[in-house]
Amino acid sequence: MAGSLLERSDTDRCFNTALLFGPDGGLLARYRKIHLFDVEVDATVRTAESRTRQPGDQTACVETDLGVIGLAVCYDLMFPELFRRLASQGAEVVVVPSAFTAPTGAAHWHTLVRARAIENQCYVVAPDQYGPTTHGFDNYGHSVIVDPWGEVLADAGEGSPRVIHAELDGGWLASVRRRLPSLAHRRLD
């Protein structure tokens, strides 16, 4: 996974698409961002993604040698029902390439990434762009990797682009799910 890209659709708008490739370079999964970022956060952050983007309508979750990986993109992080669906489909890791704005990132980024990891008992790998954009506002940065207990395993912080890494431990994931089986205790869909 290397972020998301613009993919043509059969309308005048394109999809914001995340692709997951296997070690052999073959395409394993395609996810078209479902939730479009139409907001007026403040005087500097105003955007209507729906003017140029077509929303997707399917989730993406795929079995890999690393475990079951689910995909989401950026603003999708605000919608816990998407992550719950991925968990129901067996996701053990959810990858969320993002371009969170500086204001929304400062207010919500770490809380949302940790919440999605905790409530769905999965690892969340969330790369986030950093710095100025062509839209006139800055992106937040702080790419993070969070474990199913909500512990931040790696955080790129602010500043120039960085590579972060962390060990994703399947034994720890199984232990969390066994000791606190909240996914099995769900009563609502």
Global pTM reads 0.93
Q: Is residue 49 part of a domain?
A: yes
Instruction: Report pLDDT for 1.
Output: 65
Instruction: Report which DSSP code applies to 51.
Output: G
Largest Cα–Cα distance of the chain, in whole Å? 49
The CATH number covering residue 127 comes to: 3.60.110.10
Domain hosting 117: range is 16-179
Q: Show the low-confidence residues of the chain (pLDDT under 50).
A: none
Strands (E), 33-163: 38-40, 46-48, 61-64, 67-71, 93-95, 123-126, 130-132, 138-140, 144-146, 152-155
> What are 131-145's pLDDT values in tens digits?
777 777 787 889 999
3-state secondary structure (DSSP) of residue 111:
helix
3-state secondary structure (DSSP) of residue 76:
helix
Among candidate residues 126, 144, 141, the one with its CA nearest the CA of residue 18? 126
Instruction: Report pLDDT for 132.
Output: 75
Q: Is residue 58 part of a domain?
A: yes
Give the chain's domain count.
Answer: 1
Q: Is residue 103 part of a domain?
A: yes
Instruction: Report pLDDT for 178.
Output: 97
Among candidate residues 166, 129, 171, 161, the one with its CA nearest the CA of residue 145? 166
Q: Is residue 3 part of a domain?
A: no
Instruction: Report pLDDT for 91.
Output: 98
How far does the chain reach from its first CA to its final CA, in angstroms?
A: 29
Instruction: Report pLDDT for 55.
Output: 96
